[in-house]
Amino acid sequence: MKTILNTLVMTIALTLSAVVAADAVSVIDPYVRAMPPGQKVIAAYLSLKNDSDSDRSLVHAESDAAKNVELHEHVLKNDMLQMREVEKINIAKGSTTTLKPGGLHIMLIGLTRALNVGDIVDIKLIFDDGSEQIAKAPVKKILAGMGMMKKGMSKKGGMGDMKQMKHASPMPNLMGFVKKNAQQLTLNGDQMKALKQWADVHQPRIWKWVDVIISTEKQLHDGVLKGASRDELDKMTLTILDSRQKIIRTKILCVENLRAILNTDQWNKLMEIYAGVAK
């Protein structure tokens, strides 16, 4: 009898602690980033608030919307934003960890169904204490790079950013390409330094114009629907064209500069590798 009672007390205690642990971390504002149809990989974001008095970490996530779910972070590598898997995401006691574009995120890989704006995706979150929570994340459209810009970060190069760049500029992105292939091109220290100096000055300017183009195009799109005057629409058009010209001119200078920095062999090698990728 005593044993049964003990077991019972233990069970209740365990159940209670599980309940308390589950409530210790609250999930705030979960959402999934809407992607163009056909995309098989999609990112989910949310905030995790830890009100308990012990550190917690998110160690695993699952969803019936994807074959595989991974915890990811973004890292800057050679000035390019890349993502990689992390073992866990820490939520220190009394603090909030925010997963957001350009930073930590949950990656849904191999979508099992099409996800449209407004759909709700269930994501099961599993914590290091074994507790679980289901985040109900609506699919939302978000502006690429917004999370990074809000923090005043000027570093760009995420997938959404590169898409905007491609849209805004018809020019080759040789600078990033050279950096990625620096070893193969056998760049020396001085050459790397010269490239970095150029990029530090001109990359932020180019990204600024890209932002102007994207936002002005949106104004133009909405303006014509809301009955903006032809003059106003003309002005927006000129802003877009002016920014495009600035980007193109800067990119031309960029290629000329690159040609001056690289020796003939390196330049030829670069053209060879680039032709293989740019097809």
Q: Given the rule CB under 5 A, which of 64-72, 147-155, 162-170, 182-190 is the region that contacts Cu ion?
A: 64-72
We find the least distance from the C-beta atom of residue 128 to Cu ion, in angstroms, to be 21
**32 makes contact with Cu ion (CB under 5 A):** no
Q: Given the rule CB under 5 A, which of 26-34, 66-74, 87-95, 191-199 is the region that contacts Cu ion?
A: 66-74
What is the Cα–Cα distance from 13 to 112, expressed in whole angstroms? 39
What is the Cα–Cα distance from 149 to 78, expressed in whole angstroms? 19
Q: How far is CA 247 from the centre of its chain?
A: 23
Q: Given the rule CB under 5 A, which of 28-36, 99-107, 134-142, 263-271 is the region that contacts Cu ion?
A: 99-107
We find the least distance from the C-beta atom of residue 48 to Cu ion, in angstroms, to be 17
What is the Cα–Cα distance from 178 to 78, expressed in whole angstroms? 10
**83 makes contact with Cu ion (CB under 5 A):** yes
Say if strands 132-140 and 25-33 run parallel, antiparallel, or are unpaired: parallel
Nearer to Cu ion, 80 or 107 (CB): 107
Nearer to Cu ion, 107 or 126 (CB): 107
We find the least distance from the C-beta atom of residue 33 to Cu ion, in angstroms, to be 10
User: Of residues 34, 44, 61, 72, which one binds Cu ion by CB under 5 A?
Assistant: 72
Nearer to Cu ion, 83 or 175 (CB): 83
What is the Cα–Cα distance from 169 to 172, expressed in whole angstroms? 8
What is the Cα–Cα distance from 79 to 210, expressed in whole angstroms? 18
Nearer to Cu ion, 83 or 111 (CB): 83
**100 makes contact with Cu ion (CB under 5 A):** no
**107 makes contact with Cu ion (CB under 5 A):** yes
Q: How far is CA 72 from the centre of its chain?
A: 10
- DSSP letter string over 159-212? HHHHHHHHHH--S--HHHHHHHTTTTTT--HHHHHHHHHHHHHHHHHHHHHHHH
Residues that bind Cu ion (CB under 5 A): 72, 83, 107
